[in-house]
Amino acid sequence: MTSPAALTVTDLDLDAIEASTACVAVLVGSDGKMGRAARRVNRLTKGAVKRVIESDGFAKLEEGDAITLSFPVGMATETLLVVKLARNTSPDLARKAGATIGAAMGKAGALILSTNSKRGGDIALGALLKAYKFTDHTSEGPASSVPTVTLAVTKPEDVDAASVTALAEGVFFTRDLVTEPANVLTTTEFAARLEALTALGVEVEVLDEKALEALGMLTLLAVGQGSRSPSKVVVMQWNKGPKGDAPLALVGKGVVFDTGGISIKPAAGMEDMTMDMGGAGVVAGVMKSIALRDVKANVVGLVGLVENMPDGNATRPGDVIKSMKGDTVEIINTDAEGRMVLCDVMWYAQERFAPRGMIDLATLTGAIIIGLGHENAGVFSNDDAFCKSFLKAAEIEGEGAWRMPLGAAYDKQLKSDVADMKNVGGRPAGSITAAQYLQRFVKEGTPWIHLDIAGVAEVKAPTALAPKGATGWGVLALNRLVDDLAAE
């Protein structure tokens, strides 16, 4: 398990700077005006900060970036960062500045000096998120301690450190799950990690294969039947909102490994399919954050945990399977497994919880990567107002999201001659026909959003707030959405 840095928010103590062995960051706006902390650091370093500020390099620096002074004279630190950031900057740039610090700080942690309290939370969040490093399976091993980030601001009481940490904890939980290899994160191990959320007050139930069969979740079970790992559905409930209020339901695709099944994938790049539980990972991270923040809202998270393997018992192309809803599905391609998992879990979520809204998250199609690359998740919805509120939350959090169309003409591509539908709709509009398939399992009157996160859950280059690898995309936006809905 990877934990974020410990965050402390304090008053500015000028006398503590000289002896700090943490990475020291001073913030200076493009006007070059030095605040009290910058002046003190400048004096300690015999004018080095002033030279930085007056340099060409600093003039050309983008806001949120920094110039680094290694082993500065007059200070105990090994790293001094002069970060360009205006006092009244935007939340985005404050997070970017934080990320610059988080990327540089390493195990020494950071002392972030004299920041405007208003943006302190964003700077801290950026630092915590960007410093993520998963070392559990290298000889370095799991970290035995976490670094400390000390944020020195004018009004410490204005910074909600607990909430910043709760968000980072949720994002780290998601990233760890997405990063874990499939021999470690089996369906059983995944369920065990979710059961640990009970310690935070989340009610967690694990449905085993027998229970799923009794419920009629046969399309989900069909995906997992070629694997030695048992299929599971985990239900997480957070009921701290008004009694009797319908919950928001979050549903996640949790394919712990996707070989494609009998319709097996090519060897090159197949190792990436260890992240095919990314949707379930985001649901897990959101549940963890809202529990840690003790949000006054009703939210249920449901994940379908399966492994898609080829085997003597695996589902074949051509098989016809009955879903929990009762509609039958002709399997054309066993690699279109995510929708078969989701359709049963979505139906169950609606039958059991009659949610006020349902959001499913899935690394569902390669086609969404062709369409939107790694910048935006695909957003599909049957409800304009609900969709708009999600898009707004995602925009504020800097998590790329782009709405895609749905329509009856696309739905026709799913027509089957032997069953109620096929599980694939052919190459054209592959992400949309996948969404159309899911929409067949959304009840009339349930506001629904489908998030295809195949392109954003894990990326091969660093993003604004994450090193390369698992991003935790969606955890921040969904936390915000939960808050927004609770405030309505």
**Is 339 considered catalytic here?**
yes
Question: Which SS3 state, helix, strand or coil, does residue 80 take?
Answer: strand
Whether 324 and 216 have beta carbons less than 8 Å apart is answered as yes
Q: Which is nearer to Zn ion, 230 or 304 (CB)?
A: 304
- CA triple 142-147-151, angle to 5 deg: 150
Residue from 258, 330, 397, 399 in contact with Zn ion (CB under 5 A): 258
| Chain-centre distance for alpha carbon 458 | 9
Residue 474 binding ligand BES, by CB under 6 A: no
Residue 258 binding Mn ion, by CB under 5 A: yes
Neighbours of 373 (CB within 10 A): 12
Secondary structure E strands in 226-308: 232-239, 248-258, 298-308
Q: Among 343, 353, 257, which Cα is nearest to 301's?
A: 353
**Is 40 considered catalytic here?**
no
Per-residue string for binding with ligand BES, 356-395, x by CB under 6 A? -------xxxxx----------------------------
Name the amino acid, one letter, at 269: G
β-sheet bridge partners, residue 362: 452
By a kind-dependent CB cut-off of 5 to 8 A, residue 365 interacts, out of Zn ion, ligand BES, Mn ion, none, with ligand BES
Handedness of CA 429, 398, 442, 277 (dihedral sign): positive
Closest distance between Zn ion and the C-beta of residue 157, in Å? 47
Q: Which is nearer to Mn ion, 52 or 340 (CB)?
A: 340
Span near Zn ion by CB under 5 A; candidates 161-169, 211-219, 240-248, 335-343: 335-343
Q: Which is nearer to Zn ion, 26 or 280 (CB)?
A: 280
Q: Catalytic residue among 265, 356, 392, 443, which?
A: 265
Whether 169 and 3 have beta carbons less than 8 Å apart is answered as yes
Closest distance between ligand BES and the C-beta of residue 454, in Å? 4
Whether 303 and 251 have beta carbons less than 8 Å apart is answered as yes
- Alpha carbon distance 335, 314 (integer Å): 12
| Window 323 to 362, contacts with Mn ion (CB under 5 A) | 335, 337
Closest distance between Zn ion and the C-beta of residue 358, in Å? 20
Query: Contact residues for Mn ion (CB under 5 A)?
Result: 258, 335, 337
Query: Contact residues for ligand BES (CB under 6 A)?
Result: 258, 276, 333, 335-338, 363-367, 424, 430, 454
Query: Contact residues for Zn ion (CB under 5 A)?
Result: 255, 258, 276, 338
Question: Among all residues, which ones are annotated catalytic?
Answer: 265, 339
